[in-house]
């Protein structure tokens, strides 16, 4: 018994047309999706790029304490300003704009609880951009060998997950400021480690801010010299300057490192909740990693 297949040509043609139509519909769907995605990306990228550029400029300006100006394409950071080149470069600006270009060289006096008035000029060792450049160049620190400085920078960068250049900038600043205040710089590095883990934008639930977690509301007058008021608390080098002065004042009042640390953390009773022990333990680890002897304990 045989079965005779009776397939006509019109039915084959019709099937081919249906299949072709399905392929065309599917292709049109994917092409439409691709066009929508392309259009969305084209519309989204320029604003996103502008936002990223603006954010980068703003963050850079906030770290460049020497001053900045606004240009047509956003924030443009200027090179370090001295009183002379500020006067020359700002001759065409309004008084308010000229005031925004510089900040006080009286920072040391302000954080020593003295009132600053009058003209503002730049503080060289609080220029974060310059500190980063010097760190990249591995500039020497007086009394510290290059090998010790490198070991210290590497330890902080690795443990606290920060850039080597940033670690170097903080180290050089801490050594400058710490020696001005007769404090072991490595003690200050330990305080920063315990307070903020090297996050300059850290803020506690009680309002302590920056690398050394300074209570900005309590010490707001100490930031007046930096031309930005309390906002200067999140500037890494300004925060170090003020925090170091507070710790130096605590040491003067309490007479010992343990007492100074308890004072710094705000302890009023006999105990400090283990804060001093944590700082001193990290102080010893930092000294061991760097090979730089602890100056006092």
Query: Burial code of 86-106, b = ≥16 C-beta within 10 A, e = fewer?
Result: beebbeeeeeeebebbbbbbb
Mean pLDDT of 29-50: 68
Tokens for 91? 């001759």
- Bridge partner list, 71: 74
Q: Is 144 left (phi over 0), alpha (psi -120 to 50) or beta?
A: beta
Q: Is 196 left (phi over 0), alpha (psi -120 to 50) or beta?
A: alpha
Q: What is the pLDDT of residues 207-228, one digit of tens each?
A: 999 999 999 888 888 888 777 6
Query: Does 18 or 203 have the greater pLDDT score?
Result: 203
3-state secondary structure of 68: strand
Tokens for 98? 């000229």
Q: What is the pLDDT of residues 46-63, one digit of tens each?
A: 555 555 555 555 454 445
Residue 72's pLDDT band, with cuts at 50, 70 and 90, is very low
Q: What is the pLDDT of residues 85-137, one digit of tens each?
A: 333 333 333 333 333 333 344 444 444 433 333 333 344 445 777 888 888 87
Q: What is the pLDDT of residues 10-19, one digit of tens each?
A: 677 777 777 7
Domains of the chain listed by start with CATH number: 20-101 (no CATH), 125-290 (1.10.530.10)
* Cα separation, 1 vs 136, whole angstroms: 93
Q: What is the pLDDT of residue 30?
A: 78
């Amino acid at each position: 018994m045989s079965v005779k297949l009776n397939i006509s040509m019109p039915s084959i043609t019709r099937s081919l047309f249906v299949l072709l139509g399905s392929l065309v519909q599917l292709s049109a769907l994917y092409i439409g999706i691709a066009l929508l995605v392309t259009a969305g990306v084209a519309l989204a990228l320029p604003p996103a790029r502008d936002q990223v550029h603006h954010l980068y400029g703003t963050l850079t300006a906030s770290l460049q304490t020497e001053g900045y100006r606004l240009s047509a394409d956003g924030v443009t950071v200027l090179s370090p300003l001295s009183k002379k080149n500020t006067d020359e470069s700002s001759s065409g600006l309004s008084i308010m704009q000229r005031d925004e270009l510089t900040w006080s060289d009286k920072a040391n006096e302000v954080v020593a609880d003295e009132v600053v008035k009058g003209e503002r000029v730049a503080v060289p060792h609080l220029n974060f951009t310059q500190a980063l450049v010097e760190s990249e160049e591995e500039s020497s620190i007086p009394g510290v060998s290059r090998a010790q400085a490198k070991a210290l920078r590497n330890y902080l960068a690795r443990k606290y997950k920060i850039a080597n250049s940033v670690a170097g900038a903080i180290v050089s600043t801490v050594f400058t400021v710490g020696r001005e205040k007769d404090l072991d710089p490595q003690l200050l590095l330990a305080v920063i480690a315990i307070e903020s883990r090297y996050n300059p934008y850290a803020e506690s639930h009680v309002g302590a801010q920056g690398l050394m977690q300074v209570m900005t509301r309590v010490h707001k007058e100490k930031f007046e010299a930096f031309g930005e008021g309390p906002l200067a608390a999140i500037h890494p080098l300004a925060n170090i300057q003020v925090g170091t002065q507070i710790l130096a004042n605590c040491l003067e009042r309490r007479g010992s490192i343990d007492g100074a640390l308890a004072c710094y953390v705000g302890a009023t009773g006999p105990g400090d909740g283990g804060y001093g022990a944590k700082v001193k333990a990290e102080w010893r680890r930092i000294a061991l990693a760097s090979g730089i002897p602890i100056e006092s304990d």
